[in-house]
Chains A and B, each alone.
Chain A
Amino acid sequence: MAEIVLDKVTKKFADGTVAVDSFNLDIADQEFVILVGPSGCGKSTTLNMIAGLEDISDGELRIDGKRVNEVAPRDRDIAMVFQSYALYPHMTVRENIGFPLKLAKVDKATMKQKVDEAAQILDLTPYLDRKPGALSGGQRQRVAMGRAIVRSPKAFLMDEPLSNLDAKLRVQMRTSISRIQKRLGTTTVYVTHDQTEAMTLGDRIVIMRAGLIQQVGSPQELYERPVNLFVAGFIGSPSMNFVPGTIAENAVDTVLGKIPLTERIRRSLEGHKDVPRDVIIGIRPEAFEDASLVDGGRGEGVTFTSQVDIVESMGSEKFAYFSLENAHVDSEHLAEIERDTGSEEIGAAQLVTELDARSPVREGRALEVWFDPDSIHVFEPHSGVNLTAGK
């Protein structure tokens, strides 16, 4: 059990590139913190610095109040689960899980008891005498977990531990990691590039981009009040819709029509100096609804009618896709997310709406969708700052 403090931790490589720039974070005891971001954002480097596998160029890392910058990984009492699992192929599952105890010179009886205990937590008891080569992907992942939990370390570090599993197993393991962490109450730092994993697992999420922290907060906070375009585009699936807008008297002109500025939005805009006329408007797909299904309060909403391109029915809800004319958002902040995910949807001239499953929406037909004008986010186009995030 430990508290981990990163105080202006910086990683500069020999060739001059700065992988992590002045990283500040206080991780409380028993907390589950997620580092998330596109590839190359420095999240794994940060994790490796906490582990001691990478040297810290500048700043200070404290575990339980003690500076550990110069402490070797083996003396930090931290366990790590690797993306590739990194199991010792010449050892059985029992020997793999027991390896940290063997190195710590724990006596045989205690070792056996602890390994059995860990195996039981992870449902590995029947496989203890097998070699890793004879296990399935999910079982190997659990052995890697077992090796981490067996010696009750101060903290767990996990480097994309689920990315090699297939989708169904990943969801399953996600739940069991969460359960194990809650049960053991061990401080955990978890690295992933998958925002769904980040949202579902973490107490707190740290979003990184190009070595810099973008925002730290609870999943709900990041979802509701993203501080900039990058965070807004990164969190949420499907991604937030972005359309260009022009602020005119008490409203924003967009391809979706004139969106009136609500009291809340007007006030937060007033809090900023030099709000430009041209802004980027962000609306989450969930903010939309089929207009025919909205009865009360419809007068306050904004409606938009267009031809539906594609409908995806998920059973519990439906996604309707619209094409928008002249509404492409060209932003460096969003381009980076697109590059990472390989998709071209974010910022593209298209609108994704999440509708109730009862909606009679059909592909190729016109549909009127409704949204609450208070649900919009207004971004400054150059810096990408969310002008409506509030304090």
Chain B
Amino acid sequence: MAITARQRSGWTVANIIVALYVLIPVVWILSLSLKDPSTFTDGHYFPRKFTFENYVNIFKVGGFGRPLINSIGIGLISTLIAIVIGTFAAYAIARLEFPGKRLMLGGSLLIAMFPQVSLVTPLFQIERSLGLFNTWIGLIIPYITFTLPLTIYTLSAFLREIPWELEKAAKMDGATPFQAFRQVIAPLAMPGVVTTAILAFILCWNDFLFAISLTSSNSARTAPAAIAFFTGASQFEDPTGSISAAAIVITIPIIIFVLIFQRRIVSGLTSGAVKG
């Protein structure tokens, strides 16, 4: 079916509307972060007086560097561990028949659906008595717990797409089970692993609830929680500029992360493996 010029222009208009809808708030917050504190309420969408003072302030005065490092560190470690455990679990679920398989899938789904708010208080008590409160590990453990269902689900869907016969073929060709996994299955599962890793990382990166409840100082506080503790230069001043600047800053690592890995997300990699 050929796309007519009319259809094409229709789609273009629709795309522009969606893009504007999504981008206007982003541009707005970018503009706020670049405005001079005295001109916040001047009512202009674009700043008249550009300044980077807000960005300098959040690092110099607000001490935003440490939370940013916490965020990156905790996010990466949680993602890595969740992906490793999740890949193994998903592989077992996709390939093996074992008792309790449905229970395991059901259980992980249950964890994903459980309201996190109801867990915060018990977690707070548990972590305090175990001495995990306000530490990296204290955040990494719950993050792994809540990203695992996601990784197991998406990865097992990806792995199920890989024809099982490839593994049998590898076995016949003389591969040990690990060689078959490492040289045949893993390369084919890579796009799935990368996609899942990005999702898991974003999930950890964006978390606010655990970050604010299970930390008390900058030693483990992540960026989203740290933003909540921003104060203005004086008690009469709103920290709008700092918040906007910090919001822009925490968007940047996600963009970098996605840009690096999107090359690895190649769809249709399994084409040609088996017929039909």
- A: which residues have CB within 8 A of B? 51-53, 72-74, 78-80, 82, 84-90, 99-100, 103-104, 131-135, 137, 140, 147, 151, 164
Chain A's closest residue to B175 (CB) is A103
Chain A's closest residue to B272 (CB) is A133
Q: Which residue of A87, A103, A164 contacts B272 across the interface (Cβ within 8 Å)?
A: A87
> Is there a chain A Cβ closer than 8 Å to B13's Cβ?
no
Contact A82 B173 (CB under 8 A): no
Q: In the complex, A369→B99 CA distance in Å?
A: 65
Contact B276 A84 (CB under 8 A): yes
A-B contact pairs, 29 of them (CB 8 A): A51-B168, A51-B172, A74-B172, A74-B176, A78-B172, A79-B173, A80-B168, A82-B169, A84-B165, A84-B273, A84-B276, A86-B163, A86-B166, A87-B272, A87-B273, A88-B170, A89-B269, A89-B273, A90-B269, A100-B173, A103-B174, A103-B179, A104-B174, A133-B268, A133-B271, A140-B275, A147-B169, A151-B174, A164-B275
**Which 5 pairs show the lowest CB-CB distances between chains A and B?**
A133-B272, A84-B274, A132-B272, A86-B169, A86-B165
B contact residues around A151 at 8 Å (CB): 174
* 8 Å CB interface, B242-257 against A: none
> Is there a chain A Cβ closer than 8 Å to B188's Cβ?
yes
> Is there a chain A Cβ closer than 8 Å to B171's Cβ?
yes
> Is there a chain A Cβ closer than 8 Å to B199's Cβ?
no
> Is there a chain A Cβ closer than 8 Å to B63's Cβ?
no
Q: In the complex, A87→B188 CA distance in Å?
A: 12
How many Å from the CB of B39 to the closest CB on chain A? Answer: 56
B contact residues around A134 at 8 Å (CB): 272
Q: In the complex, A140→B276 CA distance in Å?
A: 13
Contact B172 A84 (CB under 8 A): no
Contact A74 B174 (CB under 8 A): yes
How many Å from the CB of A175 to the closest CB on chain B? Answer: 21
Chain A's closest residue to B162 (CB) is A89
> Is there a chain A Cβ closer than 8 Å to B65's Cβ?
no
> Is there a chain A Cβ closer than 8 Å to B106's Cβ?
no
Chain B's closest residue to A99 (CB) is B173
Chain A's closest residue to B168 (CB) is A53
Q: In the complex, A99→B167 CA distance in Å?
A: 13
Q: In the complex, A85→B273 CA distance in Å?
A: 7
> Is there a chain A Cβ closer than 8 Å to B270's Cβ?
yes
B contact residues around A52 at 8 Å (CB): 171
Contact B172 A79 (CB under 8 A): yes
> Is there a chain A Cβ closer than 8 Å to B187's Cβ?
yes
B contact residues around A89 at 8 Å (CB): 188, 269-273
Q: Which residue of B179, B184, B268, B271 contacts A88 across the interface (Cβ within 8 Å)?
A: B184
A contact residues around B275 at 8 Å (CB): 84-85, 137, 140, 164
Contact B271 A103 (CB under 8 A): no
Q: Which residue of A53, A74, A85 contacts B274 across the interface (Cβ within 8 Å)?
A: A85
B contact residues around A87 at 8 Å (CB): 169, 272-274
Chain A's closest residue to B176 (CB) is A74
* 8 Å CB interface, B153-199 against A: 163, 165-166, 168-176, 179, 183-184, 187-188
